[in-house]
Amino acid sequence: MVSQALEVSNLRVELSSGPDIIDHISFSLSAGEILGLVGESGSGKTTLATALLAHARRGARLAGGQIDIAGTPLLSVHGEALRKARGGLIGYVAQDPAMALNPALRIGHLLLETLQAHEPALGRAARDERLLQTLDDVGLPGDREFLRRFAHQLSGGQQQRVMLALAFILRPKLIVLDEPTTALDVRTQAHILQTLRRLCKEQGVAAVYVSHDLAVIKDLVDRVMVMYAGRIVEVAARERLFARPSHPYTLGLLAAIPDVARQRPLRAIAGHAPAPGQRPQGCAFAARCARRSAACEQAEPGLLALEAAHQVACLHPQLTALPAEPLAPPREVLAAAAPLLAIRRLNLTYDRQVLFDVSLQLQAGECLAVVGESGSGKTSLARTLAGLGDNASGELVFDCAPLSLLARQRPAASRQRIQYIFQNPYRALNPRQTVGQCLQAPLAHFFGLTAAACRARIEAALQRVALPVSTVDKLPHQLSGGERQRVAIARALVCEPSVLICDEVTSALDVSVQAAILALLKRLQGEGLTLLFVTHDLGVVRAIADRVMVVKDGRVVEQGAVAEVLDRPQVAYTRGLVEYSPSIA
C-alpha cells in the first residue's frame, strides 16, 4: 500500500468578516507524488498553499477542515510544535528567493542554522555531512568559498536552488512551492524543475507546485488540480488533463498559453473572477462561460467523476477530444524604411563590461524580442535604450536624429515618446500613492494636465489593460501582482509613446491576463506603436514578435525573423533555449 503523505478534508479558509476564500477543499497526495495547483490570481491557490502550513494571511483564518501530514493533524498542532513542523514536516519554497533569503547571513550559516533549530541533537559531523549532501542534491557547490557568499552574490537560479536546499535539508514529508520559477530564464527553470522532480522521487517527498501556467508544469507533475474562485473545478492525471481537458475554465487557460512550438491565436478568458463575498449563486464561472445554461445559475456544481482519475465540477463538461487548432496567419513583412530607433556599437560597463558592440534597428510598428538567459545583458540593453544606463558608449538615433544615451540629457518630447515598463511592479509603483495618483504623475509632467482633466485618460488606460475603473482609488498593496503589472503598463500607455520598452512585463501575469496584454500590445502595434520586448519566454516571442535577437554574455549571437530563428536556429545556444522552453504541444 502506498503511504499517504498528505490528506486534506473539507478545508475552509475565510475572511474575518465571514466570506470564504476557499471551501470544500479535499484531496490527498502519496509519498513522492507531485501535484500541480493552477489557476488565475484570486483563484485561492496561494491561500490553499499557505493553509497547508497551518497559516492564513492577516484578516483571514482557518475556519474548518483537516490537514494530515504523514499522520500528523497539523491544525491541532500549536506553539513550538507547529514551528518544528514547519520545516521538519513540511517545507516551503517562496516565489521570490531574493526576498525570502536573509541578506545579512551567509549561505552556509543559513543552512546550518536551519539544521540546528530543527535537529539540535544532530552532531557537528552529521550536520556537515547533511549540508554537503543537500548542496550536491540541488546542484550547488559545497566548497568554503560558496558557503561564505551572501544571497545577493548569487544568480537567480542559485538563489532558488538555495531555497530548495533549505526545504530539503530537513527531509520533510511534504514541500509546497509557490511559483518558484516565475522570474527564471527557460534553461534555469528547466534545471530547477528537473532537480525538484528528481529529489521528490528519490526522497519520497510529496510536493504541491503552485503555478498560473499549465505549460510550466506539464512535464513536472503527476496530477493537476485546477482552482477557480476558491473551489476545485477539475482534477486529473497529467496525461489525461492535457489530452482531454473538460472544464471550460481549464480549456480557457490552455487556449491562453503562448506556445514556442507553433504560432496560434491566443484567447483570453473574458471578465474577472469574483472576489470573496461576491461569488454568485450557482457556478462561479458561469458569467465567463460560453457553455452556461439556466441550470448553471441555480446550484453550485460539485466534483463529479468522469473517470477514476478525472473529476470535474461542471454541468456541461467537454467530453470529447478538441479538434486541431488552426494556426495563426503568417505576419506581414514590414517594408524596409529608415528605422525609427537604431543603436550602433553599444558598449556598457558596470564593474565589468556587460555589453559588447551591440547594434540593432527598430522599424516603426515593429516588435523586436530580445531573449537570453539571466545575466546575458538583455535588460541592460533595454535600460540603456531608455536612457537608464550609465557608462555606456555608442551611437543612438531616434526618428532620424541623434539622441543621448542618458535620459536626463534628452528633450522632454523624446522622454515622453520612449517609455519603459519595468519587470518588477512591486518596486515600480509608489506604495504611498493610489493608482490614480501613479497614473496622474506622467500626465501632469508631460502634458501639464490638471487632476480633473486626467481622470478620463486614466480610466481609459485602466480599461485598456483589463482593470476595473474602481482600481483608480486603490493602493498597490491592495492589488495582486498581475494587477500591479497592468497598472505599470497603463502608466506607460497614458504617455502616448511611440516606442514601448517592455522588460519581462508578462512574467508575473496569469496566462489569461497575459493573453489579454499581448493582444493589447499587438493591437497597439497595429496602430503604429513600436515594441522592444525583453523576455525569457519563447512562447511569448512566438506570439507577439516580428523579429528576435538572441543575446549571450553581452553579445548578439543570432537574430532574424521569429519563425526562422525558432524553427531553424543556427547557434547551439539558441537551440538550447528552444529545447528547454515549456510547451503544451
Residue 330 has pLDDT above 70, yes or no: no
Q: Do both 272 and 416 map to the same domain?
A: no
Residue 374 has a pLDDT of 81
In a domain, 71, yes or no: no
Q: Do both 307 and 396 map to the same domain?
A: no
**Cross-sheet strand order for the sheet of 341-349:** 353-362, 341-349, 392-398, 401-402
Q: What is the CATH number of the domain that holds 522?
A: 3.40.50.300
CB neighbourhood size of 335 (10 A): 6
Say which residue the cell 500549536 belongs to. Answer: 78
Q: pLDDT digit string (tens) for 484-512?
A: 888 998 999 999 999 999 998 887 778 88
In a domain, 105, yes or no: no
* Cell digits of residue 460: 481609459
Positive or negative torsion for Cα 496, 502, 503, 504: positive
| CA 391 – CA 389 distance, rounded (Å) | 7
- Measured in whole angstroms, the distance separating CA 344 from the mean position of its chain's CA atoms is 33
Backbone angles phi, psi at 59, to 5 degrees: 90, 0
Q: Do both 396 and 504 map to the same domain?
A: yes
Say which residue the cell 513583412 belongs to. Answer: 333
- b/e 500-536 (16+ beta carbons within 10 angstroms → b): bbbbbbbbbbbbbbbbbbbbbbbebbeeebbbbbbbb
Q: Name beta bridge partners: 550.
A: 371, 558
| CA 28 – CA 9 distance, rounded (Å) | 9
Residue 174 has pLDDT above 90, yes or no: yes
In a domain, 442, yes or no: yes
Residue 333 has pLDDT above 60, yes or no: no
Which of 504, 515, 541, 509 lies closest to 261, judged by CA? 541
Residue 442 has a pLDDT of 93
| CA 270 – CA 267 distance, rounded (Å) | 9
Q: Do both 501 and 386 map to the same domain?
A: yes
Name the region of 152 (left: φ>0; alpha: ψ -120 to 50; beta: rest): alpha
Q: Do both 250 and 385 map to the same domain?
A: no
**Domain of residue 242, residue span:** 222-260+267-320
Query: Which residues 6+ apart lie within 8 Å of 566 measured at CB?
Result: 260, 538, 541, 542, 548, 578
Q: Do both 356 and 310 map to the same domain?
A: no
Which of 148, 338, 304 lies closest to 236, judged by CA? 304
In a domain, 571, yes or no: yes
Q: Do both 420 and 501 map to the same domain?
A: yes
CB neighbourhood size of 479 (10 A): 19
Q: Do both 381 and 304 map to the same domain?
A: no
Which of 178, 181, 233 lies closest to 43, judged by CA? 233
In a domain, 546, yes or no: yes
Q: How confident is the model at residue 212 (pLDDT cuts 50, 70, 90)?
A: confident
pTM of the model: 0.87
The count of domains in the chain is 2
Q: Do both 466 and 381 map to the same domain?
A: yes
Residue 272 has a pLDDT of 80
Q: pLDDT digit string (tens) for 289-305?
A: 999 999 999 989 999 99
User: What's the CA dihedral at 452, 453, 456, 457 to 10 degrees?
Assistant: -130
In a domain, 556, yes or no: yes
Q: How confident is the model at residue 1 (pLDDT cuts 50, 70, 90)?
A: very low
In a domain, 82, yes or no: no
| CA 487 – CA 491 distance, rounded (Å) | 6
In a domain, 451, yes or no: yes
Query: Which residues 6+ apart lie within 8 Å of 287 measured at CB?
Result: 271, 274, 280
Query: Which residues 6+ apart lie within 8 Å of 583 measured at CB?
Result: 215, 218, 259, 260, 261, 539
Q: Do both 482 and 395 map to the same domain?
A: yes
Q: Do both 314 and 346 map to the same domain?
A: no
Residue 335 has a pLDDT of 58
Q: pLDDT digit string (tens) for 373-430?
A: 888 899 999 999 999 988 899 999 999 999 999 999 999 999 999 999 987 777 889 9
**Residue 484 three-state SS:** helix
Q: pLDDT digit string (tens) for 226-254?
A: 999 999 999 999 999 999 999 999 999 99
Mean pLDDT of the chain: 91
Residue 233 has a pLDDT of 97
Q: Do both 353 and 315 map to the same domain?
A: no
| CA 259 – CA 539 distance, rounded (Å) | 4
| CA 171 – CA 159 distance, rounded (Å) | 19
Q: How confident is the model at residue 326 (pLDDT cuts 50, 70, 90)?
A: low
